Structure 1
Amino acid sequence: MTTRQPNAGLERLYRQSGWTLRQFAQAVNRIGTERGTPLTYTQPSIHQWLQGHMPREAVRPLVLEALSRKLHLGREDMDPSRRSVLGVGLFSVALTIPGWPDVVGRMNAMRVDPQRRIGPSEVQAVTPMTERLSDLDDEFGGRYARPMAAAFLVNTVAPYLRADASSETRKSMMAAAALLCYLTGWMAVDEGAHGRAQQYYVKSLELAGAGNDPTTYCHVLRGMSVQAADLGHGTPAVRLANAAADASPESSPRMRAFITGQQAHAYALAGEKTNALNSLREAERAVNQAESRLGTFGGFSSATLAYATAQVRHALGDTKGSIASLNDHFTLRDSTDMQRTKLVFSSLLAERQLEVGHLEAACATWNAVLDEYPGIHSGRMDRQVAKIPSLLSPYRSNSAARQTSEHARELIAK
């Protein structure tokens, strides 16, 4: 009788992951759900695999994917020439989102490196670095900033997470890492790597739970809703926005506006007009009550509200109203608002101007975008500019349309 040998390779990867047997099983089950094949593995199954039993053939790729997400997230993003991995993973409308009770304390079992110890100073270094990376992303785009964010996450922050520390410092580092992970996912969205972004977002939710940081957990869910909405997935966007509202640890006016503004857009995309308008009115009340933009990551202002209103109106079929709200947005913007969103929202304005037949106005708006576009390293802006020639192709007899289209083609070719 042949004695089955333990799977040393799988054992090594399992130890590196820092998972418990239960967490390993949950990770495989979660990926199965994403792929439309729900699984129900538990701790004994993982134990059998480690002892040499082979998973079913159909499950083996899911095991590899779970380990890959856990061990290699961020490494591929460190290479600025990573064109081959930009599209890794497609957006999943069925992605399983870990609830707050599921993520609290989830990473407590992570193996600690006794040779390294961190204190408050390391946490204080991560937070301002994340803020600077966010500023770079705002000013120049995700393609410029994401390799730096990923390198910082992998080379500096990940070792901190495995280091010995006091309970308070460890939680603070988890919370700081959650925010960095969320920001890196936001950059991935900008580049169109939506599956990769979801991986970062889920990891951020887990870190936020480990760091007992419900505010960041709420922000991540709201960001996931924004991603789903921008891709046109109304129902998942509603689910995520509502989950963010349910998880919100505070009811300050700014936070309510931050959440309900996104709920309004999501409801509108899902065809729930009454809920959309009710949420939008709640966001308006909350903005009017708020006294300061401080204290909320991704602060919600009157300019943000005008943009949310534009998105709701467009989703409900009111393109002219959407144009008016976008113009309100640009009137209300201030010098601290990010350059990339200015160009993205201007591109949306041009598309909607064209949609209602205002060709000359659309070309003027696009030309202003094209003048500033070379300074932005943003996948989303690349896609916006790439659409211009095809959108203007029916109007080639118009000199303004022809010149704008040619200008866009020249920039795309560079």
Structure 2
Amino acid sequence: MGKREPNAALGRLLAEAACSQGQFAMAVNRVGTESGVPLRYDDSAVSHWLDGTIPRKVVRPFILEVFSRKLGRPITYADAGLPSPASGTSSRPDTLEGLMELGRQDMDPSRRGVLGAALFSVALTIPDWPDVVGRLEAVQIGKARRIGYREVDAVAAMTEKVSELDDQFGGRHARPMAAAFLVNTVVPHLQADASEDVRKALLSATSDLLYLTGFMAVDEGLQGLAQRYYVKALELAGAAEDHLTYCTTLRGMSLQAVDLGHEAHALRLADAAASASPNAGPRMRAFLAGQQAHSYAATGDRRNALTFMREAEVAMDRAESRAKAFGSYAPSSLAYHVSQVRYALGDKRGSVESLKESDRLRHSHYRRSSVRYNSLLAERQLELGHLEEACATWDKVLDDYPLVQSGSADEKIRNMQALLRPHLRNRAAMSVHERSLSVSG
């Protein structure tokens, strides 16, 4: 057996990242935990890798992701001196085959654990608008059956209905329904014969459905799965020459990234969404500028955060009253963004006031959002030392929570219970804590 060669490429990346072996091991463990793969590496493991030991296959993508996050650019297997996946597994399926596989996995309960372990990656290749516009050759294969606008309308109506269910009851049950519809109805429509106008309309409607399904996957904490849906939505939006859904999806990816703490990545996506939408109407402009403001605030850029926040407010004032059934940007959404900007810039009291305003403006139909954003309000009230006010807000959350099937809602209830434990001598805190235990099972 030949002598093992040290991995000089890995050593160079480690030096460029200015990261100790122990710090790198901890970062790999964190990425593994995000992906549902518990790891307990320490500096000795990194030392072995540097000496030439090949990391386990499941761990290699985590190593690349850590370097990509630290260095702000995609890192390949070759860059890190690691063996690439077998060529048979790395070939990219065509768009329809990829949609079928994604949907089938998501509608199969036995596959949920695998999907949950999908890695959220800041190094994910995001297709630029010029790369996807009008280019979906895989769909240009007509079959004997012919479809028309009736089928397009059915896809749009189903998407709207699923969105309503998500808003009111959470996405835990609605997302598998969307996946089944995608596999059993939408993909066969995409394979059918159609006029060019109908085909583009169908691609646009399918892109909307994929964006919504990705959004619901984020809500369930399935971050890598959400990215896969989002990228498919970008591809189909480009094929349909649908700027609106393309920009909406980029903006959704920015929101996902900023909530996960990847501020620089979120900012790149928010700016890309805005630059790809040169002719946006006022509501869309408010939608995009609000996310830019949030992302700039998260990176500590106060001047740009406030500039884009003012732009969003002016655009909202000019926006028409009608909006799409899902993904719409309403005054309550704007107030939420103002609260996030204020909080990121250190104004906790202002953030609390904006969250209260968001709650006052939010329609009662948006029950999942109420659970999430009012939980956030209570957390920030507690940060200010207003324990009893926070308890009153959490009591309101618990009115809605039993009706919502949502991973993000479940997480907020767990956070509430942890935050209240040090305060259980307070009567209000004890009451809310006991009530939360009774409704969370």
Normalised to the residue count of structure 2, the TM-score between the two structures is 0.78
User: What SS is found at the alignment partner of 2:167?
Assistant: helix
- Residue 399 (1) aligns with residue 437 (2): no
Q: Is the 8 A contact 2:77 2:83 kept in 1?
A: no
Residue of structure 1 equivalent to 2:294: 265
Measured at CA, do residues 61 and 327 of structure 1 come closer, stay the same or move farther in structure 2, by a change above 3 Å? farther
| CA distances 1:235-275 after superposition (whole Å, capped 9, x unpaired) | 11111111110111523221111110111011111111111
User: What SS is found at the alignment partner of 1:73?
Assistant: helix
- Residue 101 (1) aligns with residue 130 (2): yes
**Aligned partner letter, 2:269:** L
**Aligned partner letter, 1:38:** T
Measured at CA, do residues 296 and 334 of structure 1 come closer, stay the same or move farther in structure 2, by a change above 3 Å? closer
Counterparts of 2:281 and 2:338, CA distance in 1:
21
Q: 2:366 aligns with which of 314, 330, 338?
A: 338
Counterparts of 1:237 and 1:270, CA distance in 2:
9
Counterparts of 2:324 and 2:374, CA distance in 1:
28
Shift of 1:295: 5.7
Counterparts of 1:31 and 1:297, CA distance in 2:
34
Counterparts of 1:259 and 1:357, CA distance in 2:
34
User: What SS is found at the alignment partner of 1:38?
Assistant: coil
- Residue 240 (1) aligns with residue 278 (2): no
Shift of 1:86: 4.9
- Residue 312 (1) aligns with residue 341 (2): yes
User: What SS is found at the alignment partner of 2:124?
Assistant: coil
Counterparts of 1:405 and 1:297, CA distance in 2:
34
Residue of structure 2 equivalent to 1:58: 84
Residue of structure 1 equivalent to 2:31: none
Q: Is the 8 A contact 2:160 2:326 kept in 1?
A: no
Counterparts of 1:66 and 1:378, CA distance in 2:
32
Shift of 1:31: 12
**Aligned partner letter, 1:275:** N
| CA distances 1:274-297 after superposition (whole Å, capped 9, x unpaired) | 110110011111112223233685
- Stretch moving more, 174-183 or 117-126: 117-126
Counterparts of 2:342 and 2:404, CA distance in 1:
28
Gaps of at least 5 residues in structure 1 are 1-29, 41-55
Q: 1:387 aligns with which of 396, 415, 419?
A: 415
Measured at CA, do residues 301 and 113 of structure 1 come closer, stay the same or move farther in structure 2, by a change above 3 Å? closer
Superposition map of 1:8-47 within 5 A: 36-38=74-76
| CA distances 1:343-402 after superposition (whole Å, capped 9, x unpaired) | 111000000011110111111111111122111011110111011121112212212212
| CA distances 1:191-227 after superposition (whole Å, capped 9, x unpaired) | 0001000000000000001111111101111111111
Counterparts of 1:76 and 1:295, CA distance in 2:
29
User: What SS is found at the alignment partner of 2:145?
Assistant: strand
Superposition map of 1:7-406 within 5 A: 36-38=74-76, 58-60=84-86, 63-64=89-90, 66-67=92-93, 69=98, 71-80=100-109, 83-110=112-139, 112-294=141-323, 298-335=327-364, 337-406=365-434
Report the count of equivalent residues.
368
Counterparts of 1:119 and 1:232, CA distance in 2:
44
Counterparts of 2:306 and 2:208, CA distance in 1:
31
Counterparts of 1:390 and 1:294, CA distance in 2:
38
Gaps of at least 5 residues in structure 2 are 1-60, 69-73
Q: Is the 8 A contact 2:285 2:312 kept in 1?
A: yes
- Stretch moving more, 103-112 or 121-130: 103-112
Counterparts of 1:113 and 1:60, CA distance in 2:
33
Shift of 1:319: 1.0
Shift of 1:87: 1.4
Shift of 1:63: 2.8
Shift of 1:113: 5.0
Counterparts of 2:62 and 2:140, CA distance in 1:
24
Measured at CA, do residues 274 and 226 of structure 1 come closer, stay the same or move farther in structure 2, by a change above 3 Å? same
Measured at CA, do residues 69 and 119 of structure 1 come closer, stay the same or move farther in structure 2, by a change above 3 Å? closer
| CA distances 1:137-190 after superposition (whole Å, capped 9, x unpaired) | 111101020010000011110111112222221111111110111111011011
Counterparts of 1:93 and 1:64, CA distance in 2:
19
Q: Is the 8 A contact 2:99 2:187 kept in 1?
A: no
Q: Is the 8 A contact 2:142 2:194 kept in 1?
A: no
User: What SS is found at the alignment partner of 2:116?
Assistant: coil
Measured at CA, do residues 379 and 135 of structure 1 come closer, stay the same or move farther in structure 2, by a change above 3 Å? same
| CA distances 1:31-57 after superposition (whole Å, capped 9, x unpaired) | 9986754389xxxxxxxxxxxxxxx96
- Stretch moving more, 196-205 or 235-244: 235-244
Measured at CA, do residues 105 and 194 of structure 1 come closer, stay the same or move farther in structure 2, by a change above 3 Å? same
Shift of 1:71: 4.8
- Stretch moving more, 92-101 or 82-91: 82-91
